[in-house]
Structures are given as C-alpha cells and as structure tokens.
C-alpha cells in the first residue's frame, strides 16, 4: 500500500489530503502547522511520499519533518512567495520589469 500526504497551505486554510494507492481517501483542514500536528499526521498515516504546496510563510520545521519521509516534494510556490516578500520589502525607486 502506498500512502501520500499532500499539504496545501493557502491564505485562508491549511489542508492535507491523504492518498492511498493514488486514490484520495480523506481531506483534513488543519488548525495549525505546528510540529506536533504534522508529526501526528506522519505517525498516523506513515506516508511513502509527502508533498508540500504553500503560498504562506509556514512553520519552518515543517519542511524538516517532511524531508524525513521518503519522496518529499516541495512546491515552487513558496519560492514565489519569498521573491514577492523580497520585492515588497526592497521598495525599489524605479519600477521593476520582469520578462
């Protein structure tokens, strides 16, 4: 049996979907992304893979916990969020054009 935890952290909700043999079996809305919450999910479902897609500044320990699971995949959306935060904080005097 192959189990995947797919974390989807958006601006309004933090969700995790549980896939067993490629079929979605459960979707949970998380109250938080604390290490204890994530460890509980890992211990309950024993995933063979985990996927994190996040557009928020989530708990940094989350990535370390998921890296311990086999087949961890990290969405590039977080990198876009960090780039946006960097651009907002820099406040360039000239408009920045991305091509």
- Quick one: average pLDDT of 27-48? 94
Task: Give the predicted TM-score (pTM) of the model.
Answer: 0.73
pLDDT of amino acid 98: 43
Q: What is the pLDDT of residues 54-67, one digit of tens each?
A: 888 888 898 888 88
Q: In the structure, what pLDDT confidence band is assigned to residue 70 with cuts at 50, 70 and 90?
A: confident
Over the chain, what is the mean pLDDT? 79
Measured between alpha carbons, how far is residue 54 from residues 7, 13, 15, 77, 92 in Å? 8, 10, 10, 6, 26
- Residue ranges and CATH numbers for the domains of the chain are 3-90 (3.30.420.40)
CA–CA separation, 33 vs 30, rounded Å?
7
Structure tokens at 30: 């998380």
Alpha helices in the chain (DSSP H): 35-45, 60-67, 77-90
pLDDT of amino acid 99: 42
């Amino acid at each position: 049996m192959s189990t995947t935890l797919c974390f989807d952290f958006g601006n309004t909700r933090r969700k995790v979907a549980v896939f067993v043999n490629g079929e979605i079996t459960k979707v949970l809305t998380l109250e938080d992304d604390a290490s204890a919450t994530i460890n509980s999910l890992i211990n309950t479902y024993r995933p063979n893979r985990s996927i994190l897609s996040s557009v928020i500044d989530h708990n940094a320990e989350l990535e370390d916990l998921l890296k311990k699971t086999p087949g961890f995949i990290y969405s590039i959306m977080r990198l876009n969020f960090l780039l946006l935060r960097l651009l907002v904080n820099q406040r360039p005097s000239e408009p920045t054009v991305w091509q």
